[in-house]
Each structure stands twice: as C-alpha cells, then as structure tokens.
Structure 1
C-alpha cells in the first residue's frame, strides 16, 4: 500500500491554493510602479531606482506573501554603500512623501532596526522598503537560480512556509523563524537527502557573494551570475549524478531542520529565535511528522495540520481527489512548477528583469523577452500555457539579461481583479 496516497494529492491541492495567480503578480508590479512615482518626487532620491527582492524575485512567494523593495541610490555605475544614518534620513523622506500622496496604509517607520525599514500596506499586501539592499537582491537571485536545479524546491518552500504559519512558527517578531530561514532549511534538506537533490552551495558559487558585490554593479553581478550559471549547468548535466525521484510527500515528511545562512557568513538568520521558541519549533516538526504518518495509515485528511483555517477555504479538496474544486473560481496559477502535471507556466518573463538586471535603468511594471520569446506574456494574459518548447528555451537561459524589453502595462486598465482576503 502506498503510505503517501493521502498526503501526496493533499500537498498538490495546497499548492494549487496558495501559489500566486496572475492578479497577484499584477498587484505587486502595480505597487512597485506607484512607489517609483513617489520616489521620483523626492529630491534627496534623485536618480534612485526601485527594485524588488525577496520571495517575489526568487519566485518563492505565496498569494498572501509580503513584498520586499529596495530603493537603490544613484552612484554612477558603482554599487552604493550608504551608511545607516543616511538610510534612516532617506526613508524618513519617503515616509513624508507617502503621507502627502495618500493611499498608503499602516505606515510604520522602523529606523533602529539592523536594516532600517519603512513598512506599509497597499492593496492588502504588506510591503517592506529598505535602502541599497543589493545583498538582499543577490540572495534572492541565488534562491531563484537554485530553483532552476530542481522544481521541487519551490514547491517545498511554499508548503513549508504555509505549514510554519499554521503552527505559528513563521513570525520573527514573535521570536520564531523568518521565511528566508525556512528556505534555507529546505536547501539543507535537499542537500542531505539520499541521493542529494541540491549540491553544496559552494559548488554553485565558491566565494562569499556579499564580499564580491563591490565596484561596478554591472560587472560584479555579471561575474557572479556567469559563475553560477556555468556551475549549475555543469551540475545538471552530470550524467554520473544519482537522481532523486522522491515525491513531494516523501520529501515533506522527511523534512529536517537546520539554520545557517550560506550567503553572508557569519550572519545568523535565526537570531530572533528564542530558546523557548526553538523548543516549540522542534515540537511542531515532531508533532506534524507523527500526525502525517497516522493520517496516511488511517486515510484521514491531514489538511488541518498543513494550512491555516482561513486558507483552507481556498483549497477545500477532499483527500485523494485533487480534481475537486468545491465550487471555487477556476483559477490559473502563474509561476507554478506543476511538475506533477508535466506542464508549467513560468513567470521568468515578468521577473527576469529584476533578477538578471545588468543596468541601473528604472524598474518598470511588466517585461518580456525580445524576439526569442515574443509571445510568452500574451499567452499568460490570455490564460493559456506557453508551448513546451517555449518553456524549455526559457529554462535554458539562466543568464540572459540582454534580450529584455519593456511591455506596456495598459492591459491592467479595466481588468477585473479578484483577490482573497489578506493574510495580514
């Protein structure tokens, strides 16, 4: 008997319910554009660019995920390195401009954090704005590139994030884990399972990335991306490498926890986790494991231990019947790996500008590739899937930053956008 026959379809249904839809991408791009308009009105930020990072750029965000944005200061073609005091002052200027403009909710300035942050909410999406967070952008790119090695990585990260929220262990403000730490836990698990799914990260980039972010930004980012692209290609093409064929359910229940930030030594990404919360996190892992085993043995749906009650209404699928839709809207996820179904809709055309950008050109709302992929965005807008050959060509271009062009965002006008209730 397949002990995972209950859990496997449940995990697939959870992914269908939590991964971002077209409108989730549209709303975030719209926020970026609106913030860019505000930044342009601030005299002290003349020439600055607005660039997203975090889970949005790494394509590891759920429908209710936060949006991280960096305001990158103009410093010619060189990487800027503003001091903390200047960052505090500049974010204060942005705060004043946002208040004058109006329409930005729950404004909160946190100047004395390790990284000064301006928080706000727009369209029910929580946003964190920082200054010159180039390191955060590069870390986001790395996670995006890691996903190129095996699409199960993204699925596992989304599932682990939702599971952690269900057990109240994904809130650094309350002394538990942040989402970046959870992503690193998945990386560690994929590196240590048998056979390994991911290589040691030093085989992707042998140096400390953050130390190499100096000088000309285009040169620094190009060097890093070229090295990573070559090493990832070499790893994927190694025919002597044993292939791990574990299902999502097998990987999920074998999930173990360890926290270490491999990109910025010796930073501790779990520094906000207290000793008491460490025990609670460990108990959540152990309890979930035991209950999943029992649920599989007794053919009981494990949904309640994997997703929050207010999220389960977007899933509402009986265990073992992943085709059931419970009367919900028929929705086409974008950015899903969907390797189970053998097809995939990518969002690389929309986020590749921010991931692989070699220039300081101002961030625009929507992007697509030039002649090599002229129809990828229009296919997504119509709700259809790009051809498998188009997908394959996109996946093979890990480092193609020269074939991008702007796409007008006028198609947003008049579009009916349906969104679930905010996670906040």
Structure 2
C-alpha cells in the first residue's frame, strides 16, 4: 500500500472520530440556553444576549472541543464600548450567579488577561466554556472562517487534522507557550495561499482593510457591511474560471504543510506570516508592524543568546500577532514537531500505526486502534466504538496494488542544497544549535516549490545578516492579481 493511501486511511479514521454528530451540536445549544437563563437573572446584565463564537461558529470544532461565549451588552442599536474594568466587574457578577445557580464546576476567573475570561465546565456534559464580554471582534472572525470554508472544503478537514496533530505533539496550548487554535487555522490558510497552485487568495482580495476597524456605529449595519463584502468577493473568487485549480488530496496537502514549516526556527527571527497579503513578510521592513508592535515580532538579542518571537499576523485585526504566546523555549519544540512529522511521513518504513501515533492524541488514537473483532456477519466491529468509526476501520476496499512513491520535484523546483561544512557534515544553525534526530531514519531536507520558499535573509559582505535600507516590503509567493476588482459596499 502506498504511503499516501495509508495516510489517507488514517486521516479518514481521525476525522470520523473527531467530527461532531448531531448530539454534539444539541449539547452545546443546551449549554448556551442554560447560560442565557443565568445571564437573565443578573441585574447588571439585564437585556444582554449570549452569543457563541470560536470553532463552534466556524464549524471547526471537534466532539470534545471547547465552547466560546460572548455576553453582549445592549447599547441601543450601536456597538457598545466596554472598558476592561467594567468587563471584569460584570464577569464577577456572572460568576456569583453561576455559583448560586449550580450545575457548573471548575469555575475560574482570569481577570488580568488582555481579554478577561470566565472559564467553567457544565456538570452534565463536562464541556469547557470560556465566557468573555462584548467580544464582537471574535464573533466576526469566527464567521469569516466559516465563510472561507465555502471556497474549498479541504480547508475544514485540514484545520481539524492540524489541530489533532498539534495536540498529539503538545503544541496546541497558548498557556504553555505554543499555538492557540486560531493561529493554527491561520497557518492552514497561509499554506493554502502559498501552495502551488494556490487554493485561497490573499485575504486582502476578500476583504480590503482591517475588519475590526469597521465594527463601529450601528451594529446590524456594520455586521451586514462586513458579511456582504465577504460574500461578494468570495463569490467572485469562486466563479473566476481563469484561476488554476489545485487538485491535491488532503494527505498531499498535509505533507506539504509540515514540510513548509519544518525550518520555522531558522526564519522566525526575520520573517512573519501574513495571511492578509498571502505572503511571507520581512519583519523589519513591514510598516504595519512598526513601531507599535515591533516588540511583538522583533528579534530580542543579547551578546549571550538569540531570542525569537514568531509572528503570525491576524488578517482581520492587523497588526496583532496571533502567535504572541509562542516563546523561544517552545519554538524549537514546535519546529521539531513539524520536522519529525515530515521525516516520518517521508520515510520508507512508514506504517499506519506510526502515522496514527504522530497525527492523533492518545484519546483519539485509542478509539481508532482498538482490536478489530469479526462479527456474526463476517464484518468487523470495535468494542464501544461509534458506528461511523467502525465503518472507517474496515479494510480498505481498493488498496493500491503497487506502492506509489512520493512525487519527485522537477530540477528547476529544487531548492539549493543545505549548506555543509568542509568535512561534509551539515552546518549548524545561526544560533549554533544542531537538530536532534529522534528517528532511526535521517531527516530529509524539506523540498519546497520556489513559490513556497520564504525569501532568503539578506547578508552583508562579511556574511552577517543585513537589513534593508529602502524600507520596502519583500515580494512573497502569492500576490493579488493586478487590476483585480474588489467589491466593497459603500458606507454612508
């Protein structure tokens, strides 16, 4: 069986396990209604509404996914402006009401966060909930991710698979210095923008401007303006018959995804990821990131060490860095997760068990890997495994008769070979460290298409990295088409 066939089977198994069923939707709607009843009982929140956002609204959540809630205060018909202090007070009132009502556990008030949050779990379903106040920006971002999924259905599958893979490698926890789920979704968007041919356009083609800046005035008018702009430009992109179509499978796209970011630690100090422009950005030359957020993206240097902050720009709230939680200590761990996975998926000794271990967290892998037992009809079932998972684990009906090698890049697509020292060994990275090798097989050097390559750092004559004096922005792999008409509703 070919490597891609094995990967395809495992990925379908994972998606069968984590994809929500009707009951999962009903449970979350019931929790939302429970919270609405509690909010209605709080005098200071009279008239407020309870609105979900996050992966639940984007339809990018899994069966065990958290539920994000925003309590929206009334301000007539206009978008309310609530200070951080007031949000803390109101969330404190809600916390008291939740304790009095009962039915909730693990209540935690994170009041010093940039956005104050109340965390809790429902007693009946044990679904984790994060409650914030007047978080309209997050609600709109969630809807936008849902709209983007209209362009290509592979986006949703990739996001779900990348989230499970990140959990398996313990790099999906912003509190621990790794990625949050939103930044992982943006990495998938960026990958779909920079693969060849591109699947998604730069997001400035879909929405020119900074979305959060347009959340002003009459609430319904602002929301409709944003929705209509996205709808018109997404329809225009989908109906463009002249654009090349990417027909790669999800397994192929996933292998390219881990390959693309397998050298993250080597370029994170100089390059940022801009889904808005659909290209890599030179941090020091990007005027949107300077000077206000320079400290968020910039290299932090000293004579003894070299610290890096990874930059993944929020395309809807520029120039916010959605990966600001990633610290130097965890950047190497994140890079190794990409590189280890790419090494595994391109090895000759690949099997479904090793793929499953790398792509799924233990709780998901355990469901999939239960022993197959013949039933009385000669079929198969798995003890305590949902029926849809049982079907996914049946023997593959049409296995490929001959192993299919990974596609080889054409000579002109090959990147330059890795730099080697005079004794023939690979040189160390700029910080003097060498990559660890946990596998018995050597890590292959990730091969990128020229359009996928991040721009190389400029170097001075003495070999040190040099910064641009022109202030111009580097050209990335995907540019919006010149002269393309972008529809934007006129505001009064």
| TM-score higher than 0.5 | yes
- Rounded to whole Å, the distance in 2 between the matches of 1:135 and 1:206 is 17
Q: What pairs up with 1:359-370 in 2 under 5 angstroms?
A: none
User: Quick one: structure 1 residues 298 and 35, their matched pair in 2 at CA, closer, same or farther if it must change by over 3 Å?
Assistant: closer
8 A Cα contact 1:7 1:296, kept in partner: no
User: Quick one: structure 1 residues 159 and 92, their matched pair in 2 at CA, closer, same or farther if it must change by over 3 Å?
Assistant: same
Query: 1:20: which partner in 2?
Result: 20
Distance apart, 1:158 and its partner CA: 0.3
8 A Cα contact 2:205 2:233, kept in partner: yes
Of residues 310, 322, 325 in structure 2, which corresponds to 1:269? 322
Query: 1:283: which partner in 2?
Result: 336
Corresponding position: 1:6 with 2:59: no
Query: 1:326: which partner in 2?
Result: 382
What runs of 5+ residues in structure 2 fail to find an aligned partner? 262-272, 274-311, 373-378, 390-492
Query: 2:190: which partner in 1?
Result: 188
Q: What pairs up with 1:242-321 in 2 under 5 angstroms?
A: 242-255=244-257, 256-257=260-261, 258=273, 259-294=312-347, 301-316=354-369
Distance apart, 1:142 and its partner CA: 0.7
Distance apart, 1:330 and its partner CA: 4.2
Q: Secondary structure of 1:284's match?
A: helix
8 A Cα contact 1:71 1:130, kept in partner: yes
Distance apart, 1:3 and its partner CA: 3.5
User: Quick one: structure 1 residues 36 and 226, their matched pair in 2 at CA, closer, same or farther if it must change by over 3 Å?
Assistant: same
Query: 2:232: which partner in 1?
Result: 230
User: Quick one: structure 1 residues 153 and 93, their matched pair in 2 at CA, closer, same or farther if it must change by over 3 Å?
Assistant: same
- Rounded to whole Å, the distance in 2 between the matches of 1:51 and 1:184 is 23
- Rounded to whole Å, the distance in 1 between the matches of 2:183 and 2:191 is 12
Query: 2:61: which partner in 1?
Result: 61
Corresponding position: 1:201 with 2:257: no
- Bigger proportion of residues as helix: 1
- Rounded to whole Å, the distance in 2 between the matches of 1:14 and 1:185 is 20
Distance apart, 1:311 and its partner CA: 1.5
Q: Secondary structure of 2:253's match?
A: helix
User: Quick one: structure 1 residues 238 and 325, their matched pair in 2 at CA, closer, same or farther if it must change by over 3 Å?
Assistant: farther
Larger Cα-atom Rg:
2
Distance apart, 1:276 and its partner CA: 1.3
Q: Secondary structure of 1:6's match?
A: helix
Query: 1:145: which partner in 2?
Result: 147
- Rounded to whole Å, the distance in 2 between the matches of 1:192 and 1:5 is 25
- Rounded to whole Å, the distance in 1 between the matches of 2:86 and 2:349 is 55
- Rounded to whole Å, the distance in 2 between the matches of 1:97 and 1:269 is 32
- Rounded to whole Å, the distance in 1 between the matches of 2:97 and 2:204 is 43
Query: 1:136: which partner in 2?
Result: 138
RMSD: 1.9
Distance apart, 1:324 and its partner CA: 6.1
- Rounded to whole Å, the distance in 1 between the matches of 2:353 and 2:104 is 44
User: Quick one: structure 1 residues 223 and 37, their matched pair in 2 at CA, closer, same or farther if it must change by over 3 Å?
Assistant: same
Query: 2:175: which partner in 1?
Result: 173
- Rounded to whole Å, the distance in 2 between the matches of 1:324 and 1:153 is 31
Q: Secondary structure of 1:7's match?
A: helix
Query: 1:40: which partner in 2?
Result: 40
User: Quick one: structure 1 residues 298 and 28, their matched pair in 2 at CA, closer, same or farther if it must change by over 3 Å?
Assistant: closer
Q: Secondary structure of 1:33's match?
A: helix
Q: What pairs up with 1:370-385 in 2 under 5 angstroms?
A: none
Query: 1:103: which partner in 2?
Result: 103
Distance apart, 1:314 and its partner CA: 2.5
Distance apart, 1:317 and its partner CA: 7.4
Distance apart, 1:266 and its partner CA: 1.1
- Rounded to whole Å, the distance in 1 between the matches of 2:339 and 2:163 is 16
Distance apart, 1:74 and its partner CA: 0.7
8 A Cα contact 2:67 2:127, kept in partner: yes
- Rounded to whole Å, the distance in 1 between the matches of 2:387 and 2:75 is 43
Distance apart, 1:316 and its partner CA: 2.8
Distance apart, 1:9 and its partner CA: 1.2
Distance apart, 1:42 and its partner CA: 0.4
Q: Secondary structure of 2:79's match?
A: coil
User: Quick one: structure 1 residues 9 and 31, their matched pair in 2 at CA, closer, same or farther if it must change by over 3 Å?
Assistant: same
User: Structure 1 residue runs of 4+, over 3 Å off?
Assistant: 295-301, 327-333
Distance apart, 1:36 and its partner CA: 0.2
- Rounded to whole Å, the distance in 1 between the matches of 2:171 and 2:24 is 24
User: Quick one: structure 1 residues 96 and 251, their matched pair in 2 at CA, closer, same or farther if it must change by over 3 Å?
Assistant: same
